[in-house]
Amino acid sequence: MAAVATCGTGAGSTGSVVAAGSKNHVTSFQRRGPRASGSDSSYSRLVSIAGTRPSVRNGQLLVSTGLPALDQLLGGGLAVGTVLLIEEDKYNIYSSLLFKYFLAEGIINGHTLLVASAKEDPADILQELPAPLLDDNFKKDFDEEACNHKTAESNIKMKIAWRYQLLPKMEAGPVSSSRFGHYYDASKKMPQELIEASKWHGFFFPEKSSSTLNIEPCSLTHGYIKLLQFIQNIIYEEGFDGSNPQKKQKNILRIGIQNLGSPLWGDDICCTENGNSHSLTKFLYVLRGLLRTSLSACMITMPTHLIQNKAIISRVTNLSDTVVGLESFIGSERETNPLYKDYHGLIHIRQIPRLNNLIYDVSDVKDLAFKLKRKLFTIERLHLPPDLSDTVSRSSKQDLAEPSKLLGPGCGVMAGGKKHLDF
Amino acid sequence: MFPELNNLLNTTPDRAEQGKLTLLCDANTDGSFLVHHFLSFYLKANCKVCFVALIQSFSHYNIVGQKLGVSLTVARECGQLVFLEGLKSSVDVFFRAQAEPHPLQFLREANAENLQPLYEFVREALKPVDDGEAAWRCPVLLVDDLSVLLSLGMGAVAVLDFIHYCRATVCWERKGNIVALVHDSGDTEDEENNILLNGLSHQSHLILRAEGLATGFCRDVHGQLRILWRTPSQPTTQRDQSLTYQYKIQDKSVSFFAKGMSPAVL
């Protein structure tokens, strides 16, 4: 059941004035909002930074991940100062797509980009970014598709299947006048002039690996040390942390790191079980320290399915703020499973941070699947198809029961369950 | 602090016990609400608190503390709270060589042997004031969390040694308390973490274990809390007392109820 959401989800709030605390160092974890007492002269009312909006729950500044459906699942967006870890799918198809959406969102909003990769040149990555969907072009195509499905507008009350009215609606189409979160056409490339107008820094590890280190050898691998120094340099030089007196920066730095932990970075945790087990975790810790003290947000894709030592995965999860896992059906036996025939993979929201709060926005929907349609990447709730077979055979029920067992306990971010209740 | 949790633990800020090691543990869920509870509890109990916060920034604890009725900025300014912000200091330590030994010195070293600089920091922070008047009741060390130290390259034995030294100084010598959070990794074979957790469980007087529900995610019951009182030093004939409750975290408090008695069900 795809119900089209006709109203924007609080998109009008981007115009609100956000007061940013501009003390000696800029931390994004300060409560933003109009100061009633207004005593401190260093607080200044400034126009909101493009592409950000305050969270409705705790006033935390959020940026879009490039996928409005994912933003909704993460509680409105990615908080500035945090790390979003994407656990790559097996062949790194959809995770690199999410990576490109993240960068494309940065270009559209005018954020500064920092792209780090050990596999591809960042300039090549930027050439491959998807083009943004402008509302008027897309609306025509979307209306055509909408006629093919049975859609219910939200202001028509359902008479028979009224329980479905209460289901949470996923955003399926572009919302008009949304300045936060855009839709992208995966089949077209971003126009060259937009890329050239944007400000970006690239870190391509094979080019930088030869220069010498000026830091004492600690247990970090060479690649990670160089990357950390590069990031810290950019943050300081461009003034994202507010410590540089010459530069007053009021923009977001989007950091994208691709395939972190893969052997191309010089790390051997994907090759052997007794590798350098502290290099990656130390890197993540110092990176998070850098992010917390600056106006930046980071997306990392990591091939966790290759990591041999499972303890490292749990440590990495604890050290990241938001963790999303992608599981694609390509090459697995689920590709032919009738349960999954409409979708390309599952998406697991493994962890959402509780920032400045005891509670957090967690979606009730735990069984989520994604599909890459002709233009859009959509995330939907996974439904069990109705059992319409004439002969209720044992074998067909077994096939469907197996994957539903995996869905049953859910991928709880609050609680992981092991036992499956058989009713 | 959460009044319901105080009732379950049978304490109030006025009658806080001394010389105790409390272990907070979470498995399959987030147990940080317990850290916020103890932080605000000891600040309200007028104790001098040294908080080694390795996992989140100061403003995070401050904002949650304000919801629970304490102001960390005020406590820090008047000297009641000594706050080591791990994330911010790690950036300073890592990129700039420090003149004097920094508590997080091990980040720069390839094979750090022990956590002695961190212990020196704690000892210095909880030093009793010499001017005669007892301003604060008892020193308290709060660590959030110890599993991060394992991720940063320290061995489980080094962390256990650190806690042992702190216990000798804070709990025994100065009659204070220690509260530490350790993640339980469950079925992932994190041996170092298991060594740390088992070692600390044997030394603690009180263990609070927040677990996820065995049946999965629930909107109204966020998890289960197991409270275990122990007497590690004396062998006792009576068994350790243990209680189990389920809880739901709300915006400013946590409500506890007996298993199966969630208000949503009844």
pLDDT digit string (tens) for A365-377? 788 888 888 778 8
Report yes or no: A54 and A60 within 8 Å, Cβ to Cβ: yes
**Three-state secondary structure call for residue B128:** coil
Mind listing the pLDDT tens digit for each residue in A14-62?
A: 333 333 333 344 555 554 443 333 333 333 333 477 788 888 877 788 9
**B212 vs A contacts (CB less than 8 Å):** 412, 414-417
Query: How open is the CA angle A215-A231-B110, to the nearest 5 degrees?
Result: 30
Cα within 13 Å of Cα(B197), Cβ side: 21
CB contact under 8 A, B213 and A229: no
Beta strands per DSSP E along chain B: 21-27, 48-53, 81-85, 139-144, 177-184, 206-211, 223-229, 242-249, 254-257
B151 — contact with chain A (CB < 8 Å)?
yes
B63 — contact with chain A (CB < 8 Å)?
yes
Closest chain B residue to A356, measured at CA: B60
B213 — contact with chain A (CB < 8 Å)?
yes
Using CB atoms, pick whichever of A30, A218, A288 lies closest to residue B107: A218
What is d(CA B54, CA B37) in angstroms, rounded to the nearest whole number? 17
Take residue A160 and report the two structure tokens written for it.
Answer: 């028979």
Residues 6+ apart with CB under 8 A from A122: A115, A116, A200, A202, A203, A204
State the pLDDT at residue A342.
Answer: 83
Beta partners for residue A370, in sequence order: A345, A379
B190 — contact with chain A (CB < 8 Å)?
yes
Closest chain A residue to B60, measured at CA: A356
A·B CB contacts under 8 A? 153
CA distance B66 to chain A (A): 10
B153 — contact with chain A (CB < 8 Å)?
yes
What is d(CA A318, CA A320) in angstroms, rounded to the nearest whole number? 6
In whole angstroms, what separates CA A68 from the centre of its chain? 10
Q: Give the residue, A298 or A275, on which the prediction is more confident.
A: A298
Residue with structure tokens 């022990």? B114
Closest chain B residue to A218, measured at CA: B110
Residues 6+ apart with CB under 8 A from A210: none
State the pLDDT at residue A339.
Answer: 80
Give the residue ranges of DSSP H helices in B108-220.
116-125, 147-151, 156-166, 191-203
Identify from A358, A362, A406, A413 which residue to disrupt to test chain B contact, counting B C-beta atoms within 10 A and taking the largest count: A358
Using CB atoms, pick whichever of B63, B148, B188 lies closest to residue A31: B63
Longest Cα–Cα distance in chain B: 62
What is d(CA A107, CA B65) in angstroms, rounded to the nearest whole number? 38
Q: Give the residue, A398 or B168, on which the prediction is more confident.
A: B168
In whole angstroms, what separates CA A121 from the centre of its chain? 22
- Amino acid sitting at position B237: T
**Three-state secondary structure call for residue B133:** coil
Is it the case that residue A283 has pLDDT exceeding 90?
Answer: yes
Section A142-146 average pLDDT: 49
Using CB atoms, pick whichever of A30, A281, A415 lies closest to residue B216: A415
Q: Give the residue, B167 or A170, on which the prediction is more confident.
A: B167
Is the backbone peptide bond immediately before B145 cis, with ω within 30 degrees of 0?
A: yes
* Strand pairing report for B242-249 and B254-257: antiparallel
CB contact under 8 A, B95 and A229: yes
B247 — contact with chain A (CB < 8 Å)?
no
B29 — contact with chain A (CB < 8 Å)?
yes
C-alpha distances in Å from residue A258, one per residue of A102, A118, A120, A407, B155: 12, 7, 9, 29, 29
Mind listing the pLDDT tens digit for each residue in A93-115?
A: 999 999 999 999 999 988 999 99
Section A233-245 average pLDDT: 84
Nearest to B33 by CA among B148, B181, B201, B146: B181
**B216 vs A contacts (CB less than 8 Å):** 408-410, 412, 415-417
Take residue A60 and report the two structure tokens written for it.
Answer: 């935390």
CB contact under 8 A, B29 and A286: no
What is d(CA B191, CA A331) in angstroms, rounded to the nearest whole number? 33
Question: pLDDT confidence of A391, banded at 50, 70, 90?
Answer: low
Using CB atoms, pick whichever of A311, A412, A418 lies closest to residue B217: A412
Is it the case that residue A291 has pLDDT exceeding 60?
Answer: yes
CB contact under 8 A, B64 and A356: yes
**Three-state secondary structure call for residue A120:** coil
Closest chain A residue to B85, measured at CA: A289
CB contact under 8 A, B148 and A314: no
* Strand pairing report for A112-117 and A345-351: unpaired
Report yes or no: A351 and A414 within 8 Å, Cβ to Cβ: no
Using CB atoms, pick whichever of B59, B109, B218 lies closest to residue A29: B59
Q: Give the residue, A66 or A4, on which the prediction is more confident.
A: A66
What is d(CA B120, CA B102) in angstroms, rounded to the nearest whole number? 9
State the pLDDT at residue A1.
Answer: 44
- Amino acid sitting at position A322: T
What is d(CA B234, CA A249) in angstroms, rounded to the nearest whole number? 60
Q: % helix / strand / coil in chain B, to the nearest 5? A: 35, 20, 40
State the pLDDT at residue B75.
Answer: 93
SS (H, E, C) A182-198: CCEEEEEECCHHHHHHC
Helix axes A279-292, B86-95, angle to 10 degrees: 110
Residues 6+ apart with CB under 8 A from B80: B43, B46, B47, B48, B49, B136
Burial pattern A405-420, b for ≥16 Cβ within 10 A else e, equals: eeebbbbbbbbbbeee
Burial pattern A86-103, b for ≥16 Cβ within 10 A else e, equals: bbbbbebebbbbbbbbbb
Closest chain A residue to B104, measured at CA: A286
* H-run or E-run covering A326: strand A322-328
What is d(CA B9, CA A415) in angstroms, rounded to the nearest whole number? 24
What is d(CA B176, CA B162) in angstroms, rounded to the nearest whole number? 16
Nearest to A192 by CA among A276, A101, A128: A128
Q: In order along chain B (266 residues), what is the average pLDDT of each group of 10 residues? A: 89 87 92 94 93 93 93 93 93 85 85 88 86 75 92 91 94 93 85 92 93 86 92 70 90 89 80
pTM over 0.90: no
Closest chain B residue to A285, measured at CA: B87
CA distance B145 to chain A (A): 11
CA distance B129 to chain A (A): 31
Identify from B40, B90, B94 which residue to disrupt to test chain A contact, counting A C-beta atoms within 10 A and taking the largest count: B94
Give the residue ranges of DSSP H helices in A128-191.
135-148
What is d(CA B47, CA B1) in angstroms, rounded to the nearest whole number? 14
CA distance A68 to chain B (A): 24
What is d(CA A268, CA A274) in angstroms, rounded to the nearest whole number? 9
What is d(CA B119, CA B162) in angstroms, rounded to the nearest whole number? 6
How many helices (H) and strands (E) in chain B? 9, 9
**A286 vs B contacts (CB less than 8 Å):** 90-91, 94, 107
State the pLDDT at residue A170.
Answer: 57
CB contact under 8 A, B64 and A357: yes
Residue with structure tokens 């209740």? A421
What is d(CA B244, CA B8) in angstroms, rounded to the nearest whole number? 10
CB contact under 8 A, A311 and B193: yes
